[in-house]
Structure 1
Amino acid sequence: MLKKLKISLTFGIILFTMVQCTNEAPKSSPFLVPFTKNAAVNPCLLPGSERSFVCPVRNTEVFWEEKDVFNPASVVKNDTLFLLYRAEDVLGKYNGTSRIGLAYSLDGYHFEKFDEPVLYPDNDEFKKYEWEGGCEDPRVVEDESGTYYMTYTAYDGDKARLFVATSADLRNWTKYGSVFTKAGNQYVDMWSKSGSVLCREENGKMIATKVNGKYWMYWGESNIYMATSDNLIDWNPVLETDADKMVIDEMRNYTVAFKILFSTREGKFDSELVEPGPPALLTENGFVFIYNSKNSPEFGDKNLAQGSYAAGQILSDKNDPTKVLDRLDNYFITPDQPFEITGQVNNVCFVEGLARFNNKWLLYYGTADSKIAVAESKNVNF
């Protein structure tokens, strides 16, 4: 018996002031809280018109991060923290083409950028999927040998698709196309995005970790779905076998045969959509998974502005990633600063980067789809 699931989707700073961005949880909480926003450094990454490169598709010089920078992944390598961030130019018919840039920092707050993007649409076999919307919203883990795996969204202007690429040095990337290529064409041709690979943290590195012999990934945006892999490149969606739990997603106009990890909640900040944040992190209590969400003014949190993007957390079973053990009742970060409230898309804190660096947890997020900011937690016991 198929059920219908109706989902709508709309797409004087005081030095050293710390802005609290959570309702502090009890000390026994399994979640990574609280976080604070450092007003002395935020926003920590801004767009600029001084960097250009010759776009291989346009065959002309493009100021590739002139319009906006947002939604970064983070990587710690030795004594350096890197951000792989989404950058937009001012060209094209889709509000700018997106490319992935690279920046680095020795303190986690002040960054230097590389002059050219490191992942972008090219005259390759993936051009039809990436042009001219671009390459968006990276998330990065590494394997035991130190190879980096980036999941990102390829957008052709009509459909988003979840893609994957690998690198040994963060600068040179090999594209593999859709994460679902070997699972079947029906999955390649559907709307998919936002892949968060389950991992563990070791000396700042986010290392993909297997559960029951498989790598796991949380993905999706109207619901949180799952997929498994043997090699971090080829993924198979986890399907729902209970006919009573299968639904029709009216927003995407296809039957959802995927097993749902969790979904939206009426009356809450996460009432309109839920979407993966950084790689889900293994702890002694389970996998802590930070997710982004959108608030519906009609059936969500009446205290949040219309369409606000805030972030929550769930805890899933470390021996069975399909089971949710606990969920924060409220958001732990929400738009409350001017650069988070006003921008390309108003009222957005969108989290994608999490790093343990210099004895603290650093959380990197896009603000109003325009800039990048950082929040920190000194929860050393986490």
Structure 2
Amino acid sequence: MNPFELRFQKLSNPVLSPSKEGFDSKNTYNPAVIKHRGTFVMLYRAEAKGEKITGRIGLALSGDGINFVRHPEPVMEPEYGWEKVGVEDPRVVRVGKTYYMTYTGYDGRVARLCIATSKNLLSWKKHGVVFEEFPFEKNGKPNWTKSGAILTEKMESGPFRGHYIMYFGDSNVWLAYSKDLIHWEYEPEPVLTPRGYLVEPGPAPLVLEEGILLIHNEAFWMGGDLIYTVQAALFDREDPRKLLWRTERPLLEPEFEWEKKGWVDNVVFAEAMVEHGGKMYLYYGGSDRYVGLAVSKRI
């Protein structure tokens, strides 16, 4: 299947919803999902009723990718000044025997891209903010880098040969490159710009015959409402800065009531895609409150 034929079918109900009480009693959304020894491991953003913390990271397990059992405590919490209000929106990849998580550290003013590593998906070592300084401003605030999606294989040729690459940012998407997945440098010009309000990376990019596929999130103003959709873009395999193609219609858009009404209305926001049984499982946040699942044929 090529990326021009991507079609996802949503499940009509969320696969994860807020608990009655505890650290994830208000919102559960925007998850990373990865398979570990045949088990789906979900790391999701969690918020508690009555708190101002905008994110802890919870963990849930599943054998089928649909029915999840939660770990009773968060596996990551805010600790440092640059994340004192929240650790948010994880994306997780495995390279070798190490898991790499990109996540948002929010201090109440600026959302910064951060990285943590783990061997077991339970205990995480934080490596801090990826870019201490970044010239682009969002809403008048510099150093706003927010999120990143890492390609798990090194570039074999082209200007970034021997490096890993990452698509990062929100409002625009930029390209960063690294030899060790911890220390990154960035290209100064965006590689993907919004056709509406903003664009932001989704799950880890995939290398296909046709190019590098980046499923991403894109928001538009429609009839006075801000609508978040899931889209796709294809970049050149030799030069991952070069955009070849992007979807004209969303892969996903808000349809169900739980996607249209929640903590933030009219949101579908994808961050994880897993292959299972010859199909692709795309996990997304619905209205910043629930976790949804859409399924496609194998890419």
CA deviations on 1:31-77 (whole Å, 9 max, x unpaired) are 461000122xx200011135xxxxxxxxxxxx211110000011011
The 8 Å contact of residues 166 and 175 in structure 1, kept in 2 or not, is answered as yes
TM-score (norm 1): 0.73
Q: 1:38 to 1:186 in 2, by over 3 A?
A: closer
Alignment-mate amino acid for residue 75 of structure 2? V
Q: In structure 2, what is the Cα distance between the partners aligned to 1:177 and 1:349?
A: 28
Alignment-mate amino acid for residue 176 of structure 2? A
Superposed, 1:336-347 pairs within 5 Å as: 336-347=255-266
Partner SS state of residue 374, structure 1: strand
Q: In structure 2, what is the Cα distance between the partners aligned to 1:146 and 1:74?
A: 17
Q: In structure 2, what is the Cα distance between the partners aligned to 1:215 and 1:142?
A: 13
- Residue in 2 aligned with 1:210? 155
The 8 Å contact of residues 91 and 97 in structure 1, kept in 2 or not, is answered as no
Are 1:87 and 2:46 an aligned pair? yes
Deviation of 1:358 (Å): 2.3
CA deviations on 1:244-303 (whole Å, 9 max, x unpaired) are xxxxxxxxxxxxxx21102112xxxxx111111011111111111011011123xxxx6x
- Residue in 1 aligned with 2:92? 140
Q: In structure 2, what is the Cα distance between the partners aligned to 1:107 and 1:92?
A: 33
Match of 2:117 among 146, 159, 166: 166
Structure 1 segments, 4+ long, off by >4 Å, are 184-187
More strand by share: 2
Q: In structure 1, what is the Cα distance between the partners aligned to 2:247 and 2:131?
A: 31
- Residue in 2 aligned with 1:46? 17
Partner SS state of residue 295, structure 1: strand
Superposed, 1:1-382 pairs within 5 Å as: 29-31=2-4, 33-39=6-12, 42-50=13-21, 63-93=22-52, 96-122=53-79, 127-131=80-84, 133-143=85-95, 145-181=96-132, 190-199=143-152, 208-211=153-156, 212-238=161-187, 258-265=188-195, 271-297=196-222, 306-377=225-296, 379-380=297-298, 382=299
CA deviations on 1:17-37 (whole Å, 9 max, x unpaired) are xxxxxxxxxx7x434610001
Alignment-mate amino acid for residue 196 of structure 1? A
Deviation of 1:119 (Å): 1.1
Q: In structure 1, what is the Cα distance between the partners aligned to 2:38 and 2:94?
A: 17
Partner SS state of residue 167, structure 2: strand
- Residue in 1 aligned with 2:139? none
Partner SS state of residue 296, structure 1: strand
Q: In structure 2, what is the Cα distance between the partners aligned to 1:31 and 1:364?
A: 20
Q: In structure 2, what is the Cα distance between the partners aligned to 1:349 and 1:225?
A: 22
CA deviations on 1:132-164 (whole Å, 9 max, x unpaired) are x21000011111x22000000000111111000
Alignment-mate amino acid for residue 134 of structure 1? G
Q: In structure 2, what is the Cα distance between the partners aligned to 1:71 and 1:353?
A: 9
The 8 Å contact of residues 229 and 236 in structure 1, kept in 2 or not, is answered as yes
Q: In structure 1, what is the Cα distance between the partners aligned to 2:97 and 2:73?
A: 23
